[in-house]
Amino acid sequence: MNQNWKTFLNSLNASFKQDDLITFPPTTNHHERLIYPIIHLTTLTISGKDAGKLLQGQITCNINDITETKSSLGALCNPKGRAITTFLLIKTPDAFLMVLPKELLECVKKRLQMYILRSDVTLTDSSDTLCLIGLCNFIAQPTELLSTLQKEIITVNLSTTRNRQLVIADSDKAIKLWSQRVDNENYYPENSDQWLYLDILSGIPWLTTETSEEFIPQMLNLDQLGGISFNKGCYTGQEIIARTHYLGKTKRTLYLAECRTPVTPRPNSTIVDHSGGTEQNLGKVLIAQRSTTTTSIEENNIKMLIVLQANESETYNLALNDETQTKVTLLTTSL
């Protein structure tokens, strides 16, 4: 994390409780414009004249569809078609920026490095040079997944139920933008983990070390999110992904769900189904997060993205496979 950026956030009474959590003093007031320091995601810069060619042979989205005004979700897969990471890919005049979970960056960097050989490609960990900021405006209409580049600040509009923007900038410009939004536009600082909570509500399937290489992209709903191209040609894992697409619906799919428990379920935790009278392992937790902005009555309410096996009856009696068999409620039939 950039030290100037960290010093600035400290000056705002931010607390760095973990490597992936920044919190601010609580407030009881409701705010319709929120600003988030994003720390669980980071940026890998892929540059060089062969950068596009390298990516085209390794990722699920079509590099030719990505422009300086159009970004894309996607996945990097192993030869068996299992997603190593999901990402948001952004194009700048000089490089591609891959926004991905911080805990998977080194793994992804090493994987891509294997395929560079003599190509003109440079992979750069930009964690210490680029800052990520989330903006949420609850009173504005949602927008499409578009990118804008203005004065070296990249803004990606995220197509969600809310108007959200992901901002990428160096520390000086990030500090200036934060100050402007808070001081002049009535944005209020919010804890960093709440951006992940909004991503979950939006169905964005971020992976972790526990879930990396567990699911093919269709199980993560990336085909419906525009993160898979079925006409771009060959890439690593493409055969399995294409076969799943052309042979029919995947046997597992992504759902938005919730549960009430004081302990946030870990990624890859088992979900069981009791609807048939016997306990059956039916799926896994992809990612889970509680909201710190809810009332005390709802403080144990956790939203999750879960991957479930298809159930012909479409009736479930789901629970976490924990000591108390915590009930799991689906909020969508599938995302």
Tokens of 57: 């042979």
Confidence of residue 294 (pLDDT cuts 50, 70, 90): very low
Residues 6+ apart with CB under 8 A from 53: 119
Q: Per mean pLDDT, which range of 33-47, 49-63, 199-213, 268-282 is the poorest?
A: 268-282
Closest CA to 88 of 35, 166, 194, 16: 166
Range with the lowest mean pLDDT among 35-44, 134-143, 263-272? 134-143
Share the mean pLDDT of the chain: 90
For the cut 90, the answer to whether the pLDDT of residue 127 exceeds it is: yes
- Rounded average pLDDT over 63-70: 94
**pLDDT score recorded for residue 296:** 41
Greatest CA separation for the chain: 61
CB under 8 Å to 334, separation ≥6 — which residues?
221, 253, 254, 255
**Residue 151, pLDDT above cutoff 80:** no
In the prediction, which pLDDT does 295 show? 42
Q: How far apart are CA 222 and CA 124, in angstroms?
A: 26
Res 142: pLDDT = 58
Q: For the whole model, what pTM was predicted?
A: 0.92
Mean pLDDT lowest among 42-46, 168-172, 230-234, 329-333: 329-333
Going from the N-terminus, what domains does the chain have, and what CATH number goes with each? 1-202 (3.30.1360.120), 217-330 (2.40.30.160)
